[in-house]
């Protein structure tokens, strides 16, 4: 069974000054035919996985996420 996944990411960060920045991060988890790895399981955002409401798993899915934020250091 092909239990392998590839993750592709792209990020951008812009500093307005020494204390303020904005960022955008995109990620795509490309699961192979036998893989069912999650995206977001580390606690940043909502965890997305391959399970439906009945707990059935659909391997081989392609998951995507976008995170946008602003940071100000006091």
pLDDT at position 65 over 70 = yes
Distance CA 69, CA 74 (A): 16
**Mean pLDDT, the chain, whole residue set:** 85
Under the banding of pLDDT at 50, 70 and 90, the label for residue 59 is: confident
Taking 90 as the threshold, does the pLDDT of residue 71 lie above it? Answer: yes
Order of strands, sheet of 20-31, starting from the edge strand that comes earlier in the sequence: 5-15, 20-31, 62-72
Domain ranges of the chain: 5-72
Neighbouring-strand partners of residue 29: 7, 63
């Amino acid at each position: 069974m092909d239990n392998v996944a590839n993750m592709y990411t792209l990020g951008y960060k812009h500093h307005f000054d020494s204390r303020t920045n904005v960022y955008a991060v995109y990620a795509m988890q490309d699961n192979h035919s036998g893989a069912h790895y999650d995206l977001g399981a580390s606690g940043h955002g909502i965890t997305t996985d391959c399970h439906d409401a009945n707990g059935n798993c659909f391997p081989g899915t392609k998951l995507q996420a976008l995170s946008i934020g602003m940071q100000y250091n006091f």
